[in-house]
A and B are shown apart, each in its own frame.
Chain A
Amino acid sequence: DAGITQSPRHKVTETGTPVTLRCHQTENHRYMYWYRQDPGHGLRLIHYSYGVKDTDKGEVSDGYSVSRSKTEDFLLTLESATSSQTSVYFCAISERGDSYNEQFFGPGTRLTVL
């Protein structure tokens, strides 16, 4: 199994509070991704990183920001959580950026915003 951990694994928070989710990898992979999983939508890309301090938006980036100060860590921040951000969040990593390179997924973080 790829060495990917996510913390916390479960979190309940209130609307308007800031939340930071952490993804940590021990594989030294260059690419890292944040997805959210919602029923009927599959997985949707929030943000991704192609190197330290290099990030870009995915298809559902509004309300989210990311940072990557070290190869191994990719942080996802909800500046002011809303109920629509209740979801399961997955981190993924990939060694290279070519077309047939697969992604490896972490165990997920279940976030509930009340």
Chain B
Amino acid sequence: AQSVTQLGSHVSVSEGALVLLRCNYSSSVPPYLFWYVQYPNQGLQLLLKYTSAATLVKGINGFEAEFKKSETSFHLTKPSAHMSDAAEYFCAIHTGTASKLTFGTGTRLQVTL
């Protein structure tokens, strides 16, 4: 069965600092991985997805993620945090048929001045 683990339920960074949100996966087949963002009181919005075409995936709002098979990781990064990046971030992995996804438990990003 496919699963993802997000390390750190809360991450705090200063504005302008590097953002690093960690996601490790477990999969018996080549994985398809996603990062979603949830702003307060809203639904989830797709940031980026890995579909095996390239290991470095660029998403919206300056975020990117690198797929590392040797480390079974798909960490999300952004070079310089902005106050508007404060949100909860979810890593997800495609599971079985019908485009089903299994989500991680989420990481809440706080950005301070």
Contact = CB atoms under 8 A, between A and B. Distances in A.
Interface of A: 4, 31, 33, 40-45, 48, 50, 56, 58, 90, 92, 94, 96-108
Interface in B70-113: 90, 94, 97-106
Contact of B105 (A41, A98, A107): A41
A31 to B, nearest CB: 6
Interface of B: 9, 32, 34, 36, 41-46, 49, 51, 90, 94, 97-106
Given A94-B99, A97-B99, A100-B49, A106 B105 contact: no
Contact of A42 (B49, B99, B103): B103
B45 A48 contact: no
A101 B90 contact: no
B104 A31 contact: no
B43 A105 contact: yes
B99 A96 contact: yes
B97 to A, nearest CB: 6
Contacts of B106: 42
30 contacts: A40-B9, A41-B105, A42-B90, A42-B103, A42-B105, A43-B90, A43-B103, A45-B100, A45-B101, A48-B98, A56-B98, A90-B44, A92-B44, A94-B99, A97-B97, A97-B98, A98-B99, A99-B51, A99-B99, A100-B32, A100-B49, A102-B34, A103-B46, A103-B101, A105-B43, A105-B44, A106-B43, A107-B42, A107-B43, A108-B41
Contact of B94 (A33, A56, A100, A106): A100
Interface-centre pick from A33, A43, A48, A104 (highest chain B CB count, 10 A): A43
B44 A31 contact: no
A102 B100 CA distance: 9
Contacts of B34: 102
